[in-house]
Amino acid sequence: MIAELARLARKKILVLAHVKELVEQNSEKYKSFGLKASIFSAGLKQKSLIHQVTFASVQSLSRNIDQLNEEYSLVIIDECHRVNGDDKSQYGKVISALKEHNASLKVLGLTATPYRLGMGWIYQHHYHGFARGNSDSPFKKCIFELPLRYMISNKYLTPPKQVDPAIKHYDFTSLTTDNFGRFSETEMNSLLDSQTRATKSIIDHVIEQSTSRKGVMIFAATVMHAKEIFSYLPQNETALVIGDTHQAERDAIIKNFKNKQIKYLINVSVLTTGFDAPHVDFIAILRPTESVSLYQQIVGRGLRLADDKKECLVMDFAGNQFDLFQPEVGAKKPSSDNEPVQVLCPGCGFANIFWGKTDEQGKVIEHFGRRCQGLLDNGEEEQQCDYRFKFKECDECGAENDIAARQCHQCHSIMADPDDKLRAALNLKNAMVLRCSGLSITTLADEKIKVTYFDEDGASCSEVYDFNNSKSVYVFNKQYAKRVSGVSSPINFKQASTVQQYAYQLKAPDFVIANQHKKYGWQVKEKLFDYEGSYRVADKS
């Protein structure tokens, strides 16, 4: 693909990678077509820019910006999920320098997984008509995607043979992750230290299953874990690569592994992208991950085509429970029993993929999507559908905003922080804050309903809605029309009997703030839905 782009281009092309192995690998593939190319990489001891196409290390070029003193028409970034969009980063410096000589410079990213923990999707819009990231995403648009299933079925990649190991797995379910889905190395070491017998048993099983395999890659959870794994494998057939492995030693290990002089290669988070050893036919996963993309990158190390290689054995001993072909949802998995579910937007009809839960028949009973990802074309530009499944209302204009918004997108008013509201209420003597664990509906006379909110300790407060009053109906629908479990579209409540019909499906707020009235007792002042602040919400399980 790079060769074809170079043929079409009128000016020079720069191909960037983050490690010298990728620079060398890409340049060799390009030259195999009988083409000439320059290499600019300190690690490869070459710093040339003379040919139309240059394969370069981004680190080396960013340290020699002054040499980028002519016009380039295109920059291609391999493994582009590493780009963060910061102008002061190494990629940012190179791109900025090139734009000084060509303001219309094109930047093309190539990656198997356009998503990374901590940043999310690296592009804003997809050519199939849906939104992924936002305006801060480093790439504006995904212009082409080739699904993994297509690549395998059309024999561009080796089929994976996923086998559930018939021995005890690691149990990482007790570990928590940070907001980006990352595990604590200290906590993993503590847990693994108590499961040394499991590690020995797992490695014995790996050795048993690999008798007819040519290359085995083992992905460990931590450095301490990797060293323990190393101790159980045949020493003359095994090597270990970690972040601190000296470059010369790493080069020698990788060379020996590619030449099949060693059979088992253990690594800790360093050989998940761009590593090309086509003979690898066994992937053993002994580490947890919250990222579908990272899981796909790991398995992908064994899917390259090679002579006499019919499939690649994949064994997951960490209980990650990912389907290799599962789409990246783009958000941290809320809990272990969640799965990707399809949710149609009532506004534009777009089929969203969110984390959610299904019943025994496969029907979606709950999902955790916030906003529709569909793109609408207004004739001038594509804009993301404004339908929100979860939202925070603006106190000034009533507009629906993202639950994390600090400023209203419609009237631009500063929105009160939910934590500030809770903190203020907790400091008042005549205020009550319910950590709401549920609600009940009681039908009263004359088309009135009473909604009662309960907290974990049995305390409660109520409010009444009159369905003969249009304003009361409007307020109820504003709060609950979109908050009905198990339905695909908002319910327009017009009668008290309809509310009673869906009483058990109404989603309760996370917090209810009430003020004490001298005559009428506790009066509901405010309800906080879809809360994601620092206070604990009720356990509604």
Structure tokens at 187: 């906590």
The last residue of one of the domains, among 80, 110, 140, is 110
Q: What is the dihedral of CA 362, 363, 369, 370, to 10 degrees?
A: 180
Range of the domain at 102: 1-110
The CB density around residue 340, as the number of other CB atoms within 10 Å, is: 16
pLDDT in tens, the chain (541 residues): 888 998 898 899 999 999 888 899 899 999 999 999 999 999 999 999 999 999 999 999 999 999 999 999 999 999 998 898 788 899 999 999 999 999 999 999 998 888 876 778 899 999 988 998 888 889 999 999 888 889 999 999 999 999 888 777 887 877 777 766 678 888 888 888 887 788 999 999 999 999 999 999 999 999 999 999 999 999 999 999 998 888 889 889 999 999 999 999 999 988 776 678 999 999 999 998 877 888 888 999 999 999 999 999 999 998 887 788 877 777 777 777 888 899 999 988 899 999 999 988 888 888 999 999 999 987 778 889 999 999 988 888 888 999 888 999 999 999 989 999 999 999 988 899 999 999 999 999 999 999 999 998 889 999 999 999 999 999 999 999 999 988 888 999 999 999 999 999 999 999 999 998 888 788 999 999 999 888 999 976 5
- Whether residues 194 and 268 fall in one domain: yes
Q: Where are the alpha helices (DSSP H) in 301-342?
A: none
In a domain, 533, yes or no: no
- Whether residues 363 and 483 fall in one domain: no
- Whether residues 232 and 290 fall in one domain: yes
CATH number for 247: 3.40.50.300
In a domain, 365, yes or no: yes
- Whether residues 4 and 100 fall in one domain: yes
Count how many domains the chain has: 4
- Whether residues 171 and 293 fall in one domain: yes
- The amino acid that residue 492 corresponds to is N
- Whether residues 424 and 484 fall in one domain: yes
- The amino acid that residue 205 corresponds to is H
Structure tokens at 33: 């077509």
463-to-449, 466, 523, 538 alpha-carbon distances in Å = 8, 10, 7, 20
- Whether residues 257 and 357 fall in one domain: no
